[in-house]
Amino acid sequence: MPECLDAKASLYSTELTFDPTWNHDTAATVTLKAVYQDTAPYGTDRPITVITMHGSPGSHNDFKYLVPHLAEKGIRVIGINFPGFGHSEDRDTLAHSNEERCAFVEALLDQLSIRDGLIFLGHSRGAENALMLAAKLKERTVAVALANAPGMRRHKSINYPWIVEHVCALYNNYFFLRPTIEYCMLKVYNWMGIKCRSGRVVMNSMKSMRSITFGEKKKTFLDTVNETPHIRVIFCYACRDNLIDKEISREYADCFQEQTRLVCASKDPDEEELLLKDLNKAVVDNYKSITVEFVPDGHHGQRDRARFWAQSIDKIASAAPVTVSSSDQTPEQQGKFY
């Protein structure tokens, strides 16, 4: 039974068991305390659930400006806190790989009996997991929303993988060096302007960066999403992103099929209103994918464009033919579309 940690922040904890290989192998499970945000534990009238996934580092708080807008629209939000990032428990055995992160999310959704109407919203590092989960759980997924997502090739902030590999190897193999490495890497992250709770979280962030997929590996999940007619995609990126090159983001935008491309050239609220009208038209016109380039923005689109994201998700959710899971249906709801 979930325990309420903070009613005002809608934070809960539960003991969660998952297979870190994401193969549903009961012989290789990990059990830990998962801390997550749930804005409507008893559900809402709308059969849609948005699952937010943070970057590395990050937490459910990365979406704190967006979540209230979604809640006002009657959309339930599950805010993921990946293990080892300051809220959910950590384990030395965790590699912080894509498989672990996705298995953690799927296990939490299953434990909460959230079966259908899923919209995976990922920011930065979390966007890759959003794409993977949408592909793996395609029958349950309505849409995938990607904010400042890594593309098909390495971007500028991780252009030197050998540094990450060497630091992680030292950290994993020489336990007596861990406090020193954590201290030094925390200083480096602070110098770079990246907020982090501790040196341990920094190292877990670096471990998670090792498993970002590019090229053909990512294309496998991308193709599944592209080939699944009912999954809609919205991908927003920024031209002044200090971590991800705009050229790489534009290349990634080209990968989504049946799309319309929108551009927002300023932070003027009136221009954002016009952008929302164009997005609404794209949804009505049944475009499968919508990509948006925010020319003046930086890396935190889910924060700086919170209202836009909420409106966009609301439009996509309203247009989706979502059914309620049969196990959750009343006799009157059988066969009814929302």
Length of the chain: 338
pLDDT bucket at 273, cuts 50 / 70 / 90? very high
Is residue 327 pLDDT above 50, yes or no?
Answer: no
Burial 255-269 (b: 16+ CB within 10 A, else e): bbeebbbbebeeeee
Stretch 203-228: mean pLDDT: 94
CA dist 233 → 60, 140, 150, 184, 260 (Å): 22, 15, 15, 39, 11
Q: Which is nearest to 279 in space by CA: 326, 302, 247, 313?
A: 313
The CA angle 32-88-51, to the nearest 5 degrees, is 110
**Percent of residues in the chain assigned helix, strand, coil, to nearest 5:** 45, 20, 40
At 109, the amino acid letter reads L
pLDDT at 192: 86
- The 3-state DSSP class for residue 179 equals helix
- State pLDDT tens for residues 176-203: 999 999 999 999 999 988 888 899 999 9
Q: CA-to-CA distance for 203 and 197, rounded, in angstroms?
A: 11
pLDDT at 320: 83
* pTM, two decimal places: 0.92
Stretch 248-275: mean pLDDT: 96
Percent of the chain past pLDDT 90, that is, above it, reads 86
- The DSSP code sequence of 59-74 is -GGGGTTTHHHHHHTT
pLDDT at 216: 92
Q: Which is nearest to 66 in space by CA: 176, 147, 158, 166?
A: 147
pLDDT bucket at 109, cuts 50 / 70 / 90? very high
pLDDT bucket at 159, cuts 50 / 70 / 90? confident
**List of residues 6+ apart from 337 with CB closer than 8 A:** 321, 322, 323
- State pLDDT tens for residues 275-300: 999 999 999 999 999 999 999 999 99
Stretch 138-160: mean pLDDT: 95
Residue 125 structure tokens: 């590092």
- State pLDDT tens for residues 15-57: 999 999 988 777 789 999 999 999 999 999 999 999 999 999 9
CB 90 within 8 A of CB 96: no
Percent of the chain past pLDDT 70, that is, above it, reads 94
- State pLDDT tens for residues 245-255: 999 999 999 99
Half-sphere exposure of 289 (CA within 13 A, CB side): 19
CB 238 within 8 A of CB 266: no
Stretch 215-243: mean pLDDT: 96
DSSP annotation of 336 reads -
